[in-house]
Structures are given as structure tokens and as C-alpha cells.
Amino acid sequence: MINKYYFGLSNQTLWPLCHNVFHKPIFDKSFWDGYKHSNKLFAKAVLDEVNGKKAFVWFQDYHLALAPRMVKRSKTLKKKIVSAHFWHIPWPSWDTFMKCPWAGEILEGLVANDLIGFHLKRYCVNFLASVERALGAQVDYKKSTVKYDDRTILVGPFPISIDFDSIDRAAKKASVKREIKHIRSPNYIPYKFIGVGVDRLDYTKGIPERLRAIDRFLEKYPEYQNNFVYIEAGAPSRRRIPAYMKLGEEITELVEKINWKYQRGYWKPIMYIEGKLEYNKHLALYRTANVCIVSSLQDGMNLVAKEFVAANVDCNGALVLSRFAGATEELEGAIIINPYDIEGLADAIKNALEMGDKERRKKMENFRDVVRKNNVYKWLGDFISEAAKTVS
């Protein structure tokens, strides 16, 4: 069942459909059947937990789009349940989402909630348009509400974040400082400039595009050869899905090709770490890097950008950020790139490395203020407060 539900409909249909990165979604009826069955199991678990009492239920993400309606329409439900749903990935334009043969059922499942949250306002607008077109629901774009089935559903933007203070404290620990010293040691990375990327190995993250841009950067600006190292920390993800296996192979081949092209003595331009990093090493990389590159082809938010900011306690790092990552709307002042523009990304890397110390510090201080104020606890509080307003 997990193959049909999670590795099937969730991640070979809804994931590529919503991210709209020119990766064709697979519309397989058996995936859909597995998805429906799994949502029924989750709905039953919710009802068993509620056990006839009043309750607030918070559904998370694209894996559970049908469960809210199943819960609300259950004959075993004795008292009113208030439910909310947070959709952690982008919501595409209505004409893209309507390509899904089961779009109507997915939307009906979601509008069974009292509150639906997305990261950004534009995702909310796309969702409202989808509901209006597919279900014929009455939509108020100014109030961001849907009237359907004699109910009013609120739709709102709630940009998710991180625990800034926790990362900030951890990044200052002696254990992280020891890792930084090791990274910068003559026997490890004695070179002047370090770039870093931390990703799940997912085709939405734009890793091959990033590597091609690094190739072009070294070709176009040869003074950085033997002077710059890019470290890619890639955590394997969804390996049962062929597209993800193929991506892993492509990344490995690109790293080998670029390293072979430029290698001089002990220097190789790319260090590829496949696997999850220990937390201390993770934070040390963020603190050591002159530039962090986030080149997502599409991302609901992207928390790596915010983690980099929180860990950058010395305020000496630069951020290169895809215009297609939701974090762009909050991190004003980052070097914004189009990840499909290899030439532009190569130039952005150079601009980041050559940014003046004063400008670099000012930008990072501003980023840190934004992320500190808009942390994960604010996200949680804002969402729950809005959900409370739906209780009549």
C-alpha cells in the first residue's frame, strides 16, 4: 500500500503536479486507489482518537487531501470537529492542477476543512481559482474565503519557518567551532572560498542546474580555479521512485565530470557528501561557507535558506536564492537567480564571493532579524489563532 499511496499518488502525481518543474506527473488509477485507501485509514485513526468528543484536528500536507471530508462525513461523528489543513508545497495555477483526473475529489476533500493554509498569498489565489473553476464554489478573493456546501472556508498565507534561537545557540557551541577548524585545516579545505548547498536529492531542488553553473563559473572566471570549493550535502530521498534514482546518478556523473575537468593536484572544485550530515558538521558548513546556493526549480518555502541565516552568527555569508523558492518573499536582499539561467547563476556566484564585507554583514543582519521575528513558533501561533476564529 505504501508504494501506491506515498511513493505513487503522493510523490509521482501530486508532488510533480504541484511543483510544475517540467517533470510529467503519473496519473495511475492504482495510485489513486491506494491514496484513497490510505486516507480512509488516517481518517479512521482520527475518529478513533476523537472518540465522540469535540476536537480540533490539524491535517498536514498533500498526503492527506481526502481525509478531512472523510472525517467530517463519518456517521460515527457525534460532535462538531473543527479541522484545518496546512499544504506545505506550492499550489499551481488552476489550469495546471485541473490536469489531474481526480482534481475535483481532492478539492472537495480539502474544502471540508474550516481553514486551509499555504506558504504564500499567490498559492492561496491559485487554490481559490481551482475551487471556483472545478467545484463552482463561491469565492471571495478579497476576503480569501470559499463558500461551498453551505459552509465558509477561510484560506490564508502562513509562511513556515524554523526555530531560529535553537539553531543560533547550537551554531555557537564549541563542538561546532572545532568542526569549523577542521574544515578550514590545511589537510582538508585550505582554499580561500567555500560554497555550500544542503538538499534532499529531489529534482525540484535544481542540483544539476547548480552544478552546471559552477562548471560555467570556473570556466568563465578561471581565477577561482584552485581557489574555490563547492560542498554539496545531499540527503537521499524516495529512492524507490525511478526519477529519484536517475537524479542521483546524474548528480554523481556531473560531479565526476566537473572534477575531472578542473582538478589540479589535490584540489577538486566539488566535494559531494551523499547522506545526512551530523548536526555539528551541518552547522559548521553553514558558518564556514562564503556563499550558500539555493537553486530550487520550485519550492513551497525552502528552509535551508533560513537555516543558513540562523547559523550565520558571524554575519559573513552571502545567500544566492532562487526566485522560485517561497523564501524569496521574506529574504529581501538575497542575490536572486533564475536556476534555469546557467550563465546568470554563474555570475551570481561570483557576485556573492566578491560582495564587500560591509554589504555582506548588513544583508545578513537584516536576514537574521526577519527570520528571528518570523520563527516557527510565530507560524504556529498565527495558524492556531486563525483556526480559533472559525469556531462558532
Domain boundaries, the chain: 2-160+378-388, 164-374
Instruction: Give the sign of the dihedral formed by CA 302, CA 305, CA 306, CA 310.
Output: positive
Instruction: Please report, rounded to a whole number, the percentage of residues in the chain having pLDDT higher than 70.
Output: 99
The pLDDT, as a whole number, for residue 238 is 85
Instruction: Please report, rounded to a whole number, the percentage of residues in the chain having pLDDT higher than 90.
Output: 84
Alpha-carbon span 268 to 55, nearest angstrom: 57
Q: Which whole number is the average pLDDT over 127-155?
A: 97
- The SS3 of residue 187 is coil
CATH class of the domain whose range is 164-374: alpha beta
C-alpha cell at 322: 532562487
The pLDDT, as a whole number, for residue 371 is 99
Q: Which whole number is the average pLDDT over 24-41?
A: 95
CATH number of 2-160+378-388: 3.40.50.2000
Bridge partners (DSSP) of residue 232 are 197, 272
The pLDDT, as a whole number, for residue 213 is 99
Bridge partners (DSSP) of residue 325 are 299
Alpha-carbon span 257 to 274, nearest angstrom: 17
pLDDT higher than threshold 90 for residue 107: yes
pLDDT higher than threshold 70 for residue 21: no
Q: Which whole number is the average pLDDT over 193-216?
A: 96
pLDDT higher than threshold 70 for residue 392: no
The pLDDT, as a whole number, for residue 8 is 77
pLDDT in tens, 212-269: 999 999 999 999 999 999 999 998 888 888 888 899 999 999 999 999 999 998 899 9
Whether the model clears a pTM of 0.75, i.e. scores above it, the answer is yes
Phi-psi region of 149 (alpha: psi -120 to 50; beta: other; left: phi over 0): left
The pLDDT, as a whole number, for residue 23 is 75
Q: Which whole number is the average pLDDT over 290-317?
A: 97
pLDDT in tens, 171-185: 999 999 999 999 998
Q: Which whole number is the average pLDDT over 125-130?
A: 98
Nearest to 208 by CA among 245, 251, 239, 269: 251
| Burial of residue 224, with CB atoms counted within 10 A of its CB: 0-12 exposed, 13-18 middle, 19 or more buried | buried
The pLDDT, as a whole number, for residue 10 is 83
Residues 116, 87 contacting (CB under 8 angstroms): yes
The pLDDT, as a whole number, for residue 338 is 97
The pLDDT, as a whole number, for residue 22 is 67
pLDDT higher than threshold 80 for residue 16: no
Question: 348-351: which pairs have CB atoms within 8 A and are 24 or more residues apart?
Answer: 348/320, 349/195, 349/213, 349/214, 349/217, 349/291, 349/293, 349/320, 350/217, 350/220, 350/221, 350/224
Least confident of 11-20, 84-93, 106-115, 127-136: 11-20
Q: Which whole number is the average pLDDT over 71-86?
A: 89
pLDDT higher than threshold 90 for residue 391: no
Average pLDDT value over all residues in the chain: 94
- The SS3 of residue 295 is coil
The pLDDT, as a whole number, for residue 262 is 97
Q: What are the CA-CA distances from residue 277 to residues 199, 208, 270, 316 (Å)? A: 11, 20, 17, 22
Q: Which whole number is the average pLDDT over 48-67?
A: 95
Least confident of 187-201, 298-312, 323-337: 187-201
Q: Which whole number is the average pLDDT over 145-156?
A: 97
Alpha-carbon span 6 to 240, nearest angstrom: 10
